Structure 1
Amino acid sequence: MTFSWTPHRFSGGALALDVANSVVLRFDPMQRIDRYADAKTMDSFAEAANVHCAERDRTGRLAPVAAARRRAFIDLREAIDGHFRAEASREGTPELLAALLEAIADTLRHSGASSGALDAATAHSALRLAVNAEPDRLKICPNCGWLFLDKSRNRSRTWCDMAICGNRAKASRHYYRHREETGP
């Protein structure tokens, strides 16, 4: 099956969150899809991030993760998801923060001259998020479970992407409301 990275896949508001969101239906073992399970799809993420990522002006031109660093990149992704998901749920722990900082340090230590690589840029993004944390802006989409930054003025954003998840939620509510009115 072919897959393309669309603008919706970059609705997290930060590169680190977009990377964490590369696992679709993360908590459903029967339907879970890891977009990085395929090396070509992982490599194509860097190119798509150059076009769609909210932080593309900060990251410069991103290159794919080196083959030898793919496992460490997945570890970084999981540490990002673990820490920021807990923070969004107001359940953060020092252990999750320590795991994130260790993954960031490992990535930056080994990125060396390849600072334009996706893994180094992701580590920098995660570090910016951790340092400049505004917990009330970090949210979890109730439809898909993705992490996103609520950059709205009044901090009222509900879905990662109104055009996708917001419409699905509204259509679902309409369907069930109509079904109750008309009967089965």
Structure 2
Amino acid sequence: MENQAWGANSFVGGSLCLDFANTQGGRDKTRDDERLPSYLAAIGWAHGANMVSEDEVRLLQAVALQKPVETARSLQQLRLFRESLYRLFSALVSNQAIDPADEECLRRAVAEAVNLANLQRHPDGCDWSVEVEDAGLNTLSSRIALDAQRLLLSSEMPYVRECERCTWLFVDRSKNKRRRWCKTETCGNRARAARHYQLKKI
């Protein structure tokens, strides 16, 4: 696993699929900061997000190292899926039309995930469970796709927001539902500093 720090500030989306979309970004609306330079880095992120266990990390690392060509292809597909997810949620948040290609990308990802999954019982119902042994390098994208489906169909979807300064997405769980920034200490402070600078110029 590559040495990448995935602290609490990396997981502000409130949902696995949104945190995944937030692995690309930057200080403004340009998505030019790639945080998944390799598939091993993606495994590290998934572990930081509590999406995979220690045992699953070892299994995925072994597969990734044994199949470099397939792993490189999986990384490319994972990044394309991430950008498609970002565009879809961003369009929904801003009440814009969804690109049919992005809708089809998610539909296909969900269908493939369900095809690999097993139905698992929980105290409050059932859910699809994707095992590394069945999905291999597709484990990450499959689990993310199923999480995206859950969010889209949940009562929290109307409260998904996009940071006013950068492209990060989050579920607004604030009491008054007026959260504007992914992180107050970064984008919030930068926005206030920029506003202060503009006021001084007047």
Cα deviation, residue 164, structure 1: 1.6
Q: Count residues in correspondence.
A: 170
**C-alpha contact (below 8 Å) 1:79/1:103 kept by paired residues:** no
Bigger mean CA deviation after superposition, 150-159 or 90-99? 90-99
Give the alignment partner of residue 113 of structure 1, picking from 131, 136, 142.
131
Residue 84 of structure 2 aligns with which residue? 79
1:165 lines up with 2:183 in the alignment: no
1:37 and 1:110, CA in 2 relative to 1: closer, same or farther beyond 3 A? farther
**C-alpha contact (below 8 Å) 1:87/1:135 kept by paired residues:** no
Bigger mean CA deviation after superposition, 90-99 or 143-152? 90-99
Bigger mean CA deviation after superposition, 95-104 or 113-122? 113-122
What one-letter code is carried by the residue in structure 1 that aligns with 2:84? A
Distance in 2 of aligned mates of 1:61 and 1:163:
30
Cα deviation, residue 86, structure 1: 0.8
The 5 Å alignment of 1:1-184 reads 3-25=4-26, 28=30, 32-50=32-50, 61=53, 63-64=56-57, 67=64, 68=70, 69-93=74-98, 95=100, 96-110=102-116, 113-114=131-132, 117-132=139-154, 134-180=156-202
Q: How much identity, in percent, do the aligned residues show?
A: 29
Cα deviation, residue 93, structure 1: 3.1
Cα deviation, residue 70, structure 1: 3.2
Q: Give 1 or 2: higher strand fraction.
A: 2
RMSD: 3.0
* Runs of at least 5 residues in structure 2 that lack an aligned partner in the other structure: 65-69, 118-129
Cα deviation, residue 124, structure 1: 2.0
Distance in 1 of aligned mates of 2:175 and 2:149:
24
What one-letter code is carried by the residue in structure 2 that aligns with 1:138? V
The TM-score normalised by the length of structure 2 is 0.69
* Runs of at least 5 residues in structure 1 that lack an aligned partner in the other structure: 51-58
Distance in 2 of aligned mates of 1:162 and 1:118:
29
